[in-house]
């Protein structure tokens, strides 16, 4: 992203980030910054390197080249728990609830082990209730995660991330598999996070969601940055639409008004 | 359920009322501890009612309660099925035997040293081995135990080798007088109680939550701020510490020990079977599993002298098919969902 103030280091700053899997180049030479309080949407077709990018930032994968700075601190190749304690939270594309624990206990883990980690179980559990309230899972704290609907399981994934009280939130397709009706409440949660000044990087396939929350959109293609800019300019870019989102999307865009 | 999301916008600082009345919650939390103390006292009372043969049998039950409880920490809570846990048993036993034989160290000191040696060894091999998962971890730990038996066998100057080593219990070289049947009953009872206590504390602690999270998904646990490497190695070392204590006590009880017996893979298998049948990842499960299986084994041995292993094996197979998640986990789920059918249980776990 452009125009970071010199006074404050950006929350996320990646420089020349790349990752190879043997002969396959999953990501190459990705550089951008995300200033505090901004939301960056990342789009791109399957295999573009979106999830790889998130895994490189969170330490679930080690980059083969480039550097990652969180709040000006070099966190390249740090282990996932170090990154989490540095204030970075993420959701997983395939939800990863901890089975055998209640929904409340799932969220409490982040409060026990996160950056502001408490050692007192009762504090963590009551704070977990607040986080559940925030994402609209308030009444379901005693449920087993396996009993949740797809939409609620996605919200639990978000609640677990928020339990870390992060400064940077990485969302890996939190809207995937949701019906239109279920998307709106999740968007409301993300909007309220934005209002509170959260810095967000959202990987998403649901264009409606990307348009609604992103200050800027970055397009990945075959592991490289194709283009970036405001959502409107990027999505209007004929190269992006043709090469990438395909004819069908272009046609649908003409039919549906993009005011969502 | 679903969209109760009208008020999602309201930000931080919302005081949520606690769901349960605190007094009742406190009682429910104290109940297991109270029950544990009662059982412990009952075991002391039981001792006065037993004759020698029975006392030895119950002592063995206590030993397996401690072992199963220890295995549960790494295999149950953390989900790393160690098939070489007997390595800590043998290491503890041989540490005590060599210390008492060569250096005339007091048994109680040797006991503590044995636990620490086992824990240190657990941390040492845990660092590389806990990077493996599932079957690979099981095979690697099995290999460590088998290898350690060969090492002990091939150091006859220190360990007595295959001919065994005898702890001096009488005369000038005896550093600690033999404890006798009554003494070992109490010693193994205390070890069992210690292991159950550790299991209970781990289960409710922050550390226990980390282990359960690792069991479910290590990547997710890491991104929640849990140092997964440290938690796993600590769990392995803690489990090893407890098993080491038991091995040390067993060596003193047996007086003469051999590598074949102290590194016997059967001991590991028994720990695993007891935990799995009782209920992996619970505190009560390993306790019940160890008592039930060891009692059953003894009963069958006395009443069906020739067929007892065969019958025991058949019972274990049936138990694992009907209750793949273990007795305690089955009971909890059944109580919650009000579905007690074993057939349904088998279907649910797709066996």
Q: pLDDT tens digits for A36-68?
A: 999 999 988 888 889 999 999 999 999 999 999
Confidence of residue A249 (pLDDT cuts 50, 70, 90): low
**What is the per-residue pLDDT for B56?**
93
Domain check: are A65 and A177 in the same one?
yes
Read off the CATH number of the domain in which A19 is found.
3.40.50.300
pLDDT reading at A181 higher than 60:
yes
Per-residue confidence band for A26, with pLDDT thresholds at 50, 70 and 90? very high
Nearest to A133 among B16, B216, B221 (CB): B16
Looking at every residue in chain A, the average pLDDT score rounds to 87
In angstroms, the CA A235 to CA A208 distance is 11
Could you tell me if A173 and A76 lie in one domain? Answer: yes
Q: Which of A117, A135, A164 is the endpoint of a domain? A: A164
Cβ separation A109–B224 shorter than 8 A = yes
Of A79, A121, A141, the CB nearest to B222: A79
Asked whether residue A180 falls in the same domain as residue A77, the answer is: yes
Give the residue on B whose Cα is nearest the Cα of A197: B11
Q: Specify the pLDDT at position A253.
A: 63
**Sequence-ordered list of residues with C-beta below 8 angstroms from that of A57, at least 6 positions apart, any chain:** A12, A14, A68, A83, A88, A170, A201
- Determine, yes or no, domain membership for A135: yes
Q: Is residue A93 a part of any domain in this protein?
A: no
Pick A242 or B285 by higher pLDDT.
B285
Interface test with B, best of A133, A155, A170, A180 (most B CBs within 10 A): A133
pLDDT score for A245:
61
Residues of chain B with pLDDT under 70: 1-22, 350-351
Separation CA B349–CA B217 (nearest Å): 20
Q: Which phi-psi region, left, alpha or beta, contains residue B34 (left: φ > 0; alpha: ψ -120 to 50)? A: alpha
CA distance A59 to chain B (A): 9
pLDDT value for B335: 85
Domain annotation covers residue A146:
yes
User: How close does chain B come to A20, measured CA to CA in Å?
Assistant: 20
Q: Answer yes or no: is A92 within a domain.
A: no
A31 with A11, same domain: the answer is yes
Location of structure tokens 């220890």: B70
Is residue A218 in a domain?
A: yes
The last residue of one of the domains, among A137, A164, A191, is A164
Q: Model-level pTM?
A: 0.88
Report if residue A50 sits inside a domain: yes
Of A117, A129, A181, the CB nearest to B225: A117
Q: Residue A8 pLDDT > 80, yes or no?
A: no
pLDDT of res. B7: 38
Of B4, B221, B227, the CB nearest to A139: B4
In tens, the pLDDT along A65-97 reads 999 999 999 999 899 999 999 999 999 989 999
Residues A132, A236, single domain; the answer is no
Say whether both A9 and A65 belong to one domain: yes
- Whether residues A187 and A156 share a domain: the answer is no
Nearest residue of chain A to residue B220 (CA atoms): A96
What whole-number distance in Å separates Cα of residue A252 and Cα of residue A206?
13
pLDDT value at position B113?
Answer: 98
Is residue A3 scored above 90 in pLDDT? no
Q: Do A171 and A155 reside in the same domain of the chain? A: no
- Check whether residue A30 and residue A79 sit in a common domain: yes
Q: Which residue has the higher pLDDT, A2 or A207?
A: A207
Is A188:B5 a contact under the CB 8 Å cutoff?
A: yes
Residue of B343 and A217 predicted with greater confidence: A217
In this structure, the answer to whether residues A172 and A208 fall within a common structural domain is: yes
Distance from CA of B61 to the nearest CA of A (A): 29
**End position of a domain, from candidates A147, A164, A181:** A164
Minimal CA separation from A234 to chain B, in Å:
29
- In this structure, the answer to whether residues A196 and A221 fall within a common structural domain is yes
A198 with A129, same domain? no
Pairing type for strands A73-74 and B165-166 reads unpaired
Phi/psi zone of residue B107: left (φ > 0), alpha (ψ -120 to 50 degrees), beta?
A: alpha
Number of A/B CB contacts below 8 angstroms equals: 130
What range does the domain containing A171 cover? 1-87+166-260
């Amino acid at each position: 992203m452009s125009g970071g103030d010199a006074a404050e280091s950006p929350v996320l700053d990646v420089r020349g980030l790349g990752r190879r899997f043997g002969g396959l180049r999953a990501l190459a030479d990705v550089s951008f910054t995300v200033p505090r309080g901004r939301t960056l949407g990342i789009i791109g077709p399957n295999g573009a390197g979106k999830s790889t990018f998130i895994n490189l930032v969170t330490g679930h994968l080690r980059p083969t080249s480039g550097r990652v700075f969180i709040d000006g601190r070099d966190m390249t190749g740090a282990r996932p728990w170090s990154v989490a304690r540095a204030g970075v939270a993420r959701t997983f594309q395939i939800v990863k609830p901890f089975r055998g624990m209640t929904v409340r206990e799932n969220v409490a883990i982040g409060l026990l082990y996160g950056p502001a980690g408490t050692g007192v179980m009762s504090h963590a559990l009551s704070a977990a209730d607040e986080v559940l309230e925030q994402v609209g899972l308030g009444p379901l704290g005693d449920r087993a995660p396996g009993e949740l609907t797809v939409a609620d399981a996605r919200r639990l994934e978000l609640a677990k991330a928020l339990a870390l009280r992060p400064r940077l939130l990485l969302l890996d397709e939190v809207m995937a598999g949701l019906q239109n009706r279920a998307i709106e409440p999740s968007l409301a949660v993300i909007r309220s996070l934005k209002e509170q000044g959260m810095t967000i990087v959202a990987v998403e396939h649901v264009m409606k969601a990307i348009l609604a929350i992103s200050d800027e959109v970055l397009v990945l293609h075959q592991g490289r940055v194709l283009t970036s800019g405001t959502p409107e300019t990027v999505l209007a870019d004929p190269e992006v639409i043709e090469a990438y989102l395909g004819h069908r999307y272009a046609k649908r865009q003409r039919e549906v008004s993009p005011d969502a | 359920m679903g969209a109760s999301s009208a008020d999602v916008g309201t930000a931080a600082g919302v005081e949520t009322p606690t769901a349960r009345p605190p007094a009742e919650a406190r009682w429910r939390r104290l109940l297991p501890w109270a029950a544990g103390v009662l059982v412990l006292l009952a075991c002391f009372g039981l001792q006065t009612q037993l004759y020698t043969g029975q006392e030895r049998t119950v002592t063995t039950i206590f030993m397996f309660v401690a072992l199963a409880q220890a295995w549960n920490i790494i295999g149950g809570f953390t989900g790393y099925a160690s098939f070489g846990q007997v390595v800590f048993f043998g290491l503890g036993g041989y540490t005590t035997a060599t210390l008492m034989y060569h250096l005339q160290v007091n048994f109680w000191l040797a006991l503590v040293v044995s636990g620490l040696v086992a824990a240190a060894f657990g941390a040492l091999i845990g660092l590389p081995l806990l990077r493996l998962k599932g079957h690979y971890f099981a095979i690697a730990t099995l290999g460590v135990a088998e290898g350690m038996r060969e090492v002990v066998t091939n150091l006859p100057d220190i360990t007595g080798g295959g001919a065994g080593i005898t702890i001096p219990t009488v005369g000038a070289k005896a550093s600690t007088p033999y404890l006798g049947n009554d003494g070992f009953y109490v010693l193994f009872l205390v070890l069992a109680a210690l292991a159950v206590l550790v299991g209970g504390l781990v289960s409710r602690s922050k550390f226990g939550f980390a282990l359960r999270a690792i069991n479910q998904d290590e990547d997710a646990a890491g991104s929640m701020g849990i140092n997964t490497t440290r938690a796993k190695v600590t769990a392995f070392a803690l489990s090893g510490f407890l098993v080491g204590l038991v091995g040390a006590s067993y060596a003193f009880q047996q007086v003469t020990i051999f590598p074949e017996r102290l590194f016997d893979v059967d001991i590991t298998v028994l720990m695993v079977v007891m935990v799995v049948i009782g209920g992996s990842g619970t505190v009560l499960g390993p306790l019940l599993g160890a008592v039930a299986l060891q009692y059953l084994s003894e009963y069958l041995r006395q009443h069906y002298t020739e067929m007892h292993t065969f019958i025991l094996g058949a019972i274990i197979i049936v138990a694992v098919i009907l209750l793949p998640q273990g007795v305690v986990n089955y009971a909890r789920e059944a109580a919650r969902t009000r579905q007690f059918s074993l057939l349904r249980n088998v279907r649910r776990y797709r066996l």
